[in-house]
Structure 1
Amino acid sequence: MYLRYPGYKKPETNIVFHQQDGRWLRTNVVREYFKEVCKRAELPVLSPHALRHSHAVHLLEAGANIKYVFERLGHASIKMTADTYLHVTKKIEDGALELYQRYTERK
């Protein structure tokens, strides 16, 4: 984004939503903008936090280690990450069963 918009300043911290001068956007501004984008795209209106949740679940479904996801999200404990995001999805369950089947076939 910074290459396309040379007037934008890269923020000093690792924030996602920021103003062109690098300062963070207020939560209510992000929420309202996101709501408008969802409506224009004719999608269900979700909160920006839904993106974080989806990202974490997709990482886990793809086989990412829970420790990596915990560090990426910046949670206080790995238990918090597991309790929040490691609900068993059909994809995670199928993947685990497939791994187990391959393991037992080797013996």
Structure 2
Amino acid sequence: MSESPKSSSFIAKGSVATKDVRKKYLNKSETVKLIQEIKTGIKPQWQSRYIILVGLATGLRFSEILALAWSDVDFKNKTIKVTKAYDYTHTKKIQKTKTESSKRIISIDNDTLVLLKQYKLATQINQSKYVFLDKNLESLSNNAVNKSLKKACQRAGITEITFHSLRHTHCSLLIYQGVNIKYISKRLGHSTISITYQIYGHVLDELEQRESSKVDDMMQLLYNA
């Protein structure tokens, strides 16, 4: 089912990320190119591509995506329920989410849902209740999906990123679209808005500068009306 071999690395619990994510996300045009590349010729056996698209569309952590059951995907109401995570390094078992606030229900776009429906129909023979885990709770490794993502970035001619950068990309694009930061924080499963500010402060600062110029433009229009 993989385009790459297996390997893994997972931290079930962790502190707030302290590394600067400034260079670790795609802009809108790069994201469009990546989606087009991933979708081109997509096949159910290329599971990594579906995992990448879900990560980009939801901002879910890799462990959260692997733990998704089909019962968590509400095709009618276009939502995904996050209630658990998958320890893909040590126990190879379903466990609690990273934090209590990580339990959430988020919306998912129609295009990604259509692809998931096609994937579900093609993989029902596996008879697994999970989207990306088989009956033995085996999955693609984080390393395998990262290799697939790296190759897709190369083919698309864009900045090479890791899977976790899809989460940063998702959040950054929402911020630039003017989505409420409180909503974004809950969508990402952060326990407080301050965590979101801590990680994505530079994006918010850039947006604030852009909004400031809008005020200047508005006042100029008023003075010259």
> Aligned pair 1:98/2:214, yes or no?
yes
Give the whole-Å Cα distance in 1 for the aligned partners of 2:134 and 2:216: 51
With a CA cutoff of 8 Å and minimum separation of 6, indicate the structure with the bigger relative contact order. 2
Structure 1 CA distance, aligned partners of 2:212 and 2:129? Answer: 39
User: TM-score normalized by structure 2?
Assistant: 0.36
Once residues 92 and 46 of structure 1 are traced to their aligned partners in structure 2, the CA distance between those partners, rounded to angstroms, is 26
Structure 1 residue 98 displacement after superposition: 2.1
Distance 1:11 1:81, change over 3 A: farther
1:72 aligns with 2:187: yes
Moved more, 42-51 or 2-11: 2-11
Picking from 117, 130, 135, the partner of 1:3 is 117
Higher strand share: 2
State the secondary structure of the residue aligned to 1:45: coil
Structure 2 SS opposite 1:59? helix
Calculate the aligned-residue CA RMSD, in Å. 3.1
Code of the aligned partner of 1:36: K
Q: Shift of the alpha carbon at 1:67?
A: 0.7
The runs of 5 or more residues in structure 2 that have no matched partner are 1-114
Corresponding residue pairs, total: 98
2:145 is aligned with 1:30: yes
The TM-score with structure 1 as length reference comes to: 0.67
For residue 81 of structure 1, the aligned residue among 168, 178, 196 is 196
1:35 Cα deviation from its structure 2 partner: 1.1
Percent identical residues: 29
> Which amino acid letter does the alignment assign opposite residue 117 of structure 2?
L
Can you give the 5+ residue segments of structure 1 that lack an aligned partner in the other structure? 13-17
Measured after TM superposition, the shift of residue 40 of structure 1 is 2.1
1:60 counterpart = 2:170: no
The answer on 1:41 being equivalent to 2:41 is no
1:19 and 2:132 aligned? yes
